[in-house]
Structure 1
């Protein structure tokens, strides 16, 4: 059987589907990756990948079975390394967190700065992106999404609900026709998502609130929509945790237009035994509980856990 390095190369190629991308992540030459994959296939006596210019490296049926075993080996080694490398000194190592864009930029990033201050042995990659994060390709260790995963070997928990409202600049509202009822919105301009590029149906709230909305500006990015709303030319439905903190924006029909959505956090079930993942898991659960008012528009201040708070390392974390 080949050594661990060969399995590590295999896992990176399987997740990226490109030898060049795997080489970049591993910090080696492209030729080194392809040579190690060929050697592993010869060693096992099977073909792990179908290779083509169009689709890159695609796992064969045998490759898919081997992938499941290889991930178990990877997880066991990571857990063993953490258990034997000074657990009493606190979590250490590297973590990658994928998140929706607005939450990741506005809430997650400052919380991760506080988390890293508490655990200086940790290094973090934060990916606030307007798309789905693939844990099956190991794009991240932990994902925060708008929907609970329907299948997969995942550890999953609901982080909490958040509220969105309709916002416009005070200057826009002063110079445009008054909005006293929902039907008054027919005379106004809106900012929204690019429908065909939506990564979740949970973002289709404008269709429900104003079916005949005159959408004059579209973007895949909620941060771009926020900046467009500040331009004072149209209205936008925005998360309260993003817009309520900006005094240049005012809510429109706040008692009538009120959208609630949820954030879900999940990771691979095999990461339950890794100290660094569970430390972050517990931190985020506790931190979001502290900030429920901010997520629901009742506060403008982000709170961090007390200095004497300590994680339980996911001992009560539910499975998906």
Structure 2
């Protein structure tokens, strides 16, 4: 261990967290060949130990690799504290933090406030993957993930972040033109907006049957932000999280007795949960969610009237 170069360990750390040579290379601003060469040199310096095996989805840590990762992350934490001074102030936090979140939560909750977090921790580089799908913290694709369901396996630390509610929404102009909707029996007469069933990235998004059994969407797309745009444009009626639908004063709730509840789960890898940047973000996000709980549950005073 004494003969090893710290920068070789940085290459190891990046590949362990991304699982892909190309992704590690982008993170380190080198080419993939260089990453592979540095990993092989590190393995030689460790007496020929194999740190990774090539799997179908990328590079997977061996048992020797997992042991080294625990030691390297300990070194990383200690180095951060030494270089940064008072860690409790947040000024010590350095490195790159990768966050994975659903498109809606990432866009409408995290992105709306992430600038403040970044400004308070200017030595921290942040990746926000907010899209239709999740990065897997068990494979080190993300440092922190906000998921729609609790993972059932993997070396993960999981806790419930918050419940959130979804309701039916339509543009007020659409309702003015088409008339009020008195019950769910009226819905088949209207174009419904929803997900493409075979492209759902989480079964928790399959909720139209909770609105009315057997109802199908006429306008389907894989993106919740695109669904919001369709509803706001008056294309039809659809289900949106309250933290999206209630933000737009041009939208009105439809059939207020229909309320769907889902949950967000906060997930980190068990070996990296104590990294200062991870712990800092988790604390910040938990505080943000507590502050925004009214929006998440659709209980804010600025919500539109039901139609």
Q: TM-score range by the shorter chain?
A: 0.7 to 0.9
Contact 2:133 2:201 in 1 (8 A): yes
1:72 matched residue in structure 2: 70
Aligned ranges for residues 225-264 of structure 1 at < 5 Å?
A: 225-254=227-256, 256-264=257-265
Alignment of 1:120-135 (within 5 A): 120-135=122-137
Instruction: Give, in angstroms, the shift of residue 242 of structure 1.
Output: 0.5
Are the aligned partners of 1:177 and 1:187 in contact in 2 as well (CA < 8 Å)? no
Alignment partner of 1:45 is 2:48 = yes
1:187 paired with 2:189, answer: yes
Q: Which secondary structure state, in structure 1, belongs to the residue aligned with residue 181 of structure 2?
A: coil
Structure-2 change in CA distance of 1:114 and 1:50 (3 Å): closer
Query: What does residue range 14-163 of structure 1 map to in structure 2 within 5 Å?
Result: 16-43=18-45, 44-47=47-50, 55=56, 58-59=59-60, 63-85=61-83, 86-88=85-87, 90-91=89-90, 92-93=93-94, 94-163=96-165
Shift of the 128–20 alpha-carbon distance from structure 1 to 2, 3 Å rule, reads: closer
RMSD: 2.5
Is 2:275 the counterpart of 1:282? no
C-alpha spacing 1:217/1:140, structure 2 compared with 1 (3 Å):
same
**How far off is 1:238 after superposition?**
0.1
1:176-212 Cα shifts (integer Å, max 9, x gaps): 2542111111211111111112111111111232333
Change (3 A) 1:160 1:40: same
Helix, strand or coil: the match of 2:133? coil
Residue in 1 that maps onto 2:267: 266
1:208 matched to 2:207? The reply is no
Q: Gapped runs of 5+ residues in structure 2?
A: 303-307
What secondary structure is seen at the aligned counterpart in 1 of 2:154? Answer: coil
| Contact map agreement 2:43 2:49 (CA 8 A) in 1 | yes
Query: Does the residue aligned with 1:78 lie in a helix, a strand or coil?
Result: helix
User: SS of 1:150's equivalent?
Assistant: coil
- Equivalent residue pairs, number: 295
Is the partner of 2:263 in helix, strand or coil?
Answer: strand
